[in-house]
Amino acid sequence: MASQGTTPPGGPRRGVLFDVDGTLIDSSYIHTIAWWGAFREHGYDIPMASIHHYVGMGGDRLVDSLLPEGRDRSADPEVMASHGALYASHWPALRAFEGAKDLLAQCHAGGLAVALASSARKKDLAVMESVLDASAFLDGATSANDAKESKPAPDILVAALDAIGVEAADAVFIGDAVWDMLAAGALGIPAIGVTCGGVSAAELREAGAVEVYEGPQDLLQNLTSSAIGRLLARP
């Protein structure tokens, strides 16, 4: 990780938080397939479209949202473990979206503290950080281990803010899921949506996104006029 930056002259430290799955890494549909397989292993036939809608939510909440209420909940950890194993089998296929590393670099060069605010398992996050190859531009990162409640609860974002020493009023969050937008909204953090995870711009805006881009490259090309640019331009 890069070292924490200094407080800007005349104002508090500012930061930008990034979701990772579906936002910086092209993995939303891999998660969908992994959950689909995990459910089938445990006797549940859940349509992929239904699963994708909940990707980005914490695994515990996703399972609870998709499986029958009357099930034997003691088996839920086994379902999540199956998903983890199936997802790990796809690690070699993981790729960063175009512009992801450059976007992190540009935010860092602008003087913002940069953190990954992910609900992923710690070992999955480590793999994705390696894929991003952007550790020089990161000031902090959180995983599912750092939050009591998963998204759409804001715990992951709170942990990321704490990790980089930034207040919610001085941050912007970027994510690809409705659950990301809701988590940011709970803290009053402006949220930028990206559609590269498969969620429509309309859904992201309805959930609270202040603006929506196609992905990291699109946001990078419009950085100055974005919520990140406005954060950088604040006196």
- Say if residues 193 and 214 touch (Cβ distance below 8 Å): no
Q: Quick one: 25 exposed, middle or buried, by C-beta within 10 A (0-12, 13-18, 19+)?
A: buried
pLDDT for residue 11 = 63
- Residues 149-206: tens digit of each pLDDT: 988 999 999 999 999 999 999 999 999 999 999 999 999 999 999 999 999 999 999 9
> Residues in the chain with pLDDT < 50?
2-7
Phi, psi values for residue 81, rounded to 5°:
-65, -35
In whole angstroms, what is the distance from residue 37 CA to residue 90 CA? 13
Which domains, ranges and CATH numbers included, belong to the chain?
15-26+94-233 (3.40.50.1000), 28-93 (1.10.150)
Q: Calculate the dihedral angle through the C-alpha atoms of 205, 150, 89, 173, rounding to the nearest 10 degrees.
A: 40
pLDDT for residue 144 = 85
Phi, psi values for residue 61, rounded to 5°:
-70, -40
- Say if residues 156 and 146 touch (Cβ distance below 8 Å): yes
Q: Which residues are registered as beta bridge partners of 189?
A: none
In whole angstroms, what is the distance from residue 117 CA to residue 113 CA? 12
